[in-house]
Structure 1
Amino acid sequence: MTSQTTEATPDGGQLRVSTLELFFDLVFVFTITQLTHVFVHHPGWDAVAQIALMFGVIWWMYSGYAWLTNEVAPTSSGRRGLLTLGMFGFFVLALAIPDAFHGSGVAFGLGFVLVTCVHTALFASSGGSSAITAIKHIAPFNVLSAGLVLVGGFLHGWPQYLCWALALACQIGSPYLIDTSGFEVRPRHFAERHGLVIIVAIGESIVSIGVGLTGRDLTVGLVANVAVGLALAYVLWWAYFGIDDERGEHALSAVPPRERSRPALFAYGYSLYPMLIGVTLAAAGIQMSIAHGNERASLAAATALSAGVALYFVGQWAFRLTLRLPRPWTRLVAAAVVCLTIPIGVAWVAWAQLALLVAIAYAAVIIDDVITLRTGHHSSYV
């Protein structure tokens, strides 16, 4: 899926994901792990709100680095050095996540300021003329957002929530207030880069299985639970990479270059946000219940598990809708149906909820694939 060297275009952009970007993603693995722990250790709506806000501002800038390397290939020592500095900023953010609302908010804010400064500096110094113009327009919004995150880090309670919510609103709303056509999107690298992020997030659900079983004796029932948990990770992978990953790249390639930034932002920025939040919550649900498969799941664990998968499907619905891919509504139906499995874990046993969740989600994906095949469309996997 990736090349071992950086493939740069004549104008300085990238054709394939570089190994440095894969190295960069190691921090994202840790970020997802930390966010999962926030819910596992303090399950409830407060944790969901905290995850949504922290991941929201992090994802905006992390996705921003995908735009950056799409435009600025890390082909020089200076660029690689700055990217490594940005990686350090993201690592500080990840370290501060567990207590960001209870003491480490300042560290979170300082890490975010560093990430923002590196991103702006690299774009302004190494991007093409159109990209430099575009980043000059969006940089004030990013700086304002970073300032709000930093100020929020000094606060506690609802003022902190408010500051970080305003920062996220500033990020989400900024593309509507400026012209983003100056950013050139190279579909092959762009789709591959974001696809790797999804793989990283799904990998956290596998890690959560192992974490949830730490110190447990391996019985037949426990191994069966592990098999079903891995099956869920496979279903999430297949739901996106079976067809949508490839179709998304082709759909983005079909858009005229000067018009790509908007659909790219909506499909790979806004739409991936609920998908990644969903994987994080599902991973938390697995970690909380995998070792207690023969017992009733707590309401928090059962809800996180099924609602997380539902959010993943909602994100896919938005992804398909944005790129005008076939049958986005099937993912909304799947999201609604998987939520019906929540009472099974609460009223019966956790393994039954997980097994039925996998069966329903997989059936929804397979039915959609069969319809795709009958219409004559194929992908590398189907």
Structure 2
Amino acid sequence: MSSPAARFRLGTSTSGGGRVTPTELFFDLVFVFVVTQVTHAVERHPGWEGLFKGLLPMVVVWWMFSAFGWLTNAVRPDAVGVRILLILAMMAFFVMGLDVPYAFEPEGWAFPVAYLAVVAIHCGVYLTASAPTARRAILRNMPFNAAAGVLVLVAPHLPEVWGWVCWAAAVPVLYLSPFLGRIRGFVIEPHHFVERHALLLLVVLGESVVAIGIGAESPQGHAVDWPLALGVILGIAAAAGLWWVYFDGDEVRAEAAFEKATEHRRQTLAYYAFTGAHLVMIIGGHPRRGGHHRRHPPLRRPGEPVVAGLGHRDLPGRTRRLPRHAEERPDRRSRRRSGVRGAAGGGGVVRGLGRHGRRRGRADRDRHDRSPPGLMRSGLPRP
């Protein structure tokens, strides 16, 4: 009968028949959420600064996420203890995804803390591998992973320039660690390693297709027109082209190249062709997903009062008084109500309408009279 330690420690497969387990596929789903969060963060802050504030966290997250592909290649996630630790790491990755929009701000402490937790879990599980060289390799690699996490942790608390320096330094600390630390000894099982990354890319492409559909939805809810149909067709064609190029025999040729390579050569191929090249493919699909969202003019310009439910595209810098016949006057009962109910669709917050009607008197009623009719459609009761 095997000991508890032997049941927990699962050695590296050398038969070439190792398959990706359902646990690993379930684990990969969390990365889709991270990619989605990065896409939304870039869309909310268009421009070079917003682009780097989205891509730098994803580059850091991808390093550790890819590292778990190396981990499950050495330690099969069949034991209960390994599965529990992988689920804990999955939770930490999810927290990082939630905090991507705030990773550069002091209140975004959850991102680096979750990252350091992932580094600790990754190292702890790797130490259960049966290959002694793999255990020694992770002990040499872990300080670089932790150093990058510390840089990300202190970056938001420094002046802005030095914060960018910390983020810029974290990337080479991670991606040059195999050369800086002369890290050797990781054991690569070809079939499992190639299949794991192929399935991960397939999941990311699936998220891209779903994002095309979500981004094509319109707040106005009108039917599909020709420009939208053309954009959707081009988006699906781009996703299909990437899928075709990757899965048209490349994974088979990659596995054959792994089989012929020496142990040291396998590590080099895994680093360049999978950890590095797959990051480029994922980033290449990142702006394409973000570009499918329908663009609508902003509901208000900077400095204008926040008004809910405005559907007018031709409003000037200040809300103008509409013709008398186009105005809708709220009754006395609506003015006495406390606050204004949320506008349909989350358009914004209407402030000062009906909240203190009895105290503000005539001036308050005049402001109500100048409200455009779109305000009444946003959830205010009609007379």
- Report the TM-score when normalising by structure 2: 0.69
1:237 aligns with 2:237: no
* Counterparts of 2:26 and 2:101, CA distance in 1: 23
Closer/same/farther in 2, CA of residues 10 and 77 from structure 1, 3 Å limit: closer
TM-fit CA distance, 1:228:
3.0
Superposed CA offset, 1:199-230 (max 9, x none):
22222321221222223323352344323321
1:227 aligns with 2:230: no
TM-fit CA distance, 1:127:
4.5
* Counterparts of 1:10 and 1:121, CA distance in 2: 13
TM-fit CA distance, 1:156:
5.7
* Counterparts of 1:52 and 1:225, CA distance in 2: 24
Name the residue aligned to 2:24: 21
Name the residue aligned to 1:62: 65
1:217 aligns with 2:246: no
* Counterparts of 1:282 and 1:116, CA distance in 2: 31
Decide whether the 8 Å contact of 2:144 with 2:174 is kept in 1.
Answer: yes
Name the residue aligned to 2:101: 98
Gaps of 5+ in 2: 1-8, 298-383
Mapping 1:276-291, distance limit 5 Å: 276-287=282-293
Closer/same/farther in 2, CA of residues 153 and 70 from structure 1, 3 Å limit: farther
* Counterparts of 1:96 and 1:127, CA distance in 2: 35
2:273 alignment partner AA: A
Aligned counterpart in structure 2 of residue 265 of structure 1, from 253, 260, 271: 271
Q: Secondary structure at the match of 1:271?
A: helix
Decide whether the 8 Å contact of 1:56 with 1:168 is kept in 2.
Answer: yes
* Counterparts of 1:173 and 1:15, CA distance in 2: 29
Mapping 1:47-196, distance limit 5 Å: 47-155=50-158, 157-196=160-199
Q: Which has the larger radius of gyration?
A: 2
TM-fit CA distance, 1:124:
1.5
Higher helix share: 1
TM-fit CA distance, 1:108:
0.7
1:208 aligns with 2:214: no
Decide whether the 8 Å contact of 2:148 with 2:171 is kept in 1.
Answer: yes
Closer/same/farther in 2, CA of residues 113 and 30 from structure 1, 3 Å limit: same
Q: Secondary structure at the match of 1:268?
A: helix
Identity of aligned residues (%): 37
1:106 alignment partner AA: W
Superposed CA offset, 1:269-327 (max 9, x none):
112222111111111122356x99xxxxxxxxxxxxxxxxxxxxxxxxxxxxxxxxxxx
1:246 aligns with 2:249: no
Name the residue aligned to 1:297: none
Closer/same/farther in 2, CA of residues 155 and 266 from structure 1, 3 Å limit: same
* Counterparts of 1:58 and 1:22, CA distance in 2: 17
Superposed CA offset, 1:52-85 (max 9, x none):
3111111110010000000000121111111111
* Counterparts of 1:268 and 1:104, CA distance in 2: 33
Name the residue aligned to 2:320: none
Name the residue aligned to 2:334: none
TM-fit CA distance, 1:31:
0.6
* Counterparts of 2:201 and 2:94, CA distance in 1: 19
1:54 alignment partner AA: P
Name the residue aligned to 1:315: none
* Counterparts of 1:283 and 1:240, CA distance in 2: 18
Closer/same/farther in 2, CA of residues 118 and 91 from structure 1, 3 Å limit: same
* Counterparts of 2:144 and 2:213, CA distance in 1: 40
Closer/same/farther in 2, CA of residues 203 and 160 from structure 1, 3 Å limit: farther
Name the residue aligned to 1:43: 46
User: How many matched pairs?
Assistant: 284
1:30 alignment partner AA: F
- Report the TM-score when normalising by structure 1: 0.69
TM-fit CA distance, 1:257:
2.6
- What RMSD in Å do the two structures reach over aligned CA positions? 2.3
* Counterparts of 2:177 and 2:51, CA distance in 1: 24
Most deviating of 126-135 and 31-40: 126-135
2:135 alignment partner AA: I
Decide whether the 8 Å contact of 2:10 with 2:129 is kept in 1.
Answer: no
Closer/same/farther in 2, CA of residues 10 and 24 from structure 1, 3 Å limit: closer
Decide whether the 8 Å contact of 1:181 with 1:259 is kept in 2.
Answer: no
1:37 alignment partner AA: H
Decide whether the 8 Å contact of 2:96 with 2:114 is kept in 1.
Answer: yes
Aligned counterpart in structure 1 of residue 34 of structure 2, from 26, 31, 48: 31
Decide whether the 8 Å contact of 1:206 with 1:230 is kept in 2.
Answer: yes
* Counterparts of 1:83 and 1:250, CA distance in 2: 29
